[in-house]
Structure 1
Amino acid sequence: MSAAIDRMLAAIADPKRRRAVELLGQRPRSAGELAGELGLAPPAMSRHLRALKEGGLVEDGHPDFDARVRIYSLKDGATDELKRWLAETEALWSHQLGAFKRHVEGSE
Structure 2
Amino acid sequence: MYLIHVRLKGPDTTASRPDLATIITSCAGKADGLEHVAVHPGPEGDVTLGLFLLADRLATAERSAARLTERAVADHPALRGFRVLTAEAVLVPGPWWDS
Q: What TM-score results when the alignment is normalised by the length of structure 1? A: 0.29
Decide which structure has the larger Cα Rg and report it: 1
**Comparing both chains, which one has the higher relative contact order based on Cα–Cα distances under 8 Å and sequence gaps of 6 or more?**
2
TM-score of the two chains, using structure 2 as the length reference? 0.31
The structure with the largest helix share of the pair is 1
Which has the larger share of strand?
A: 2
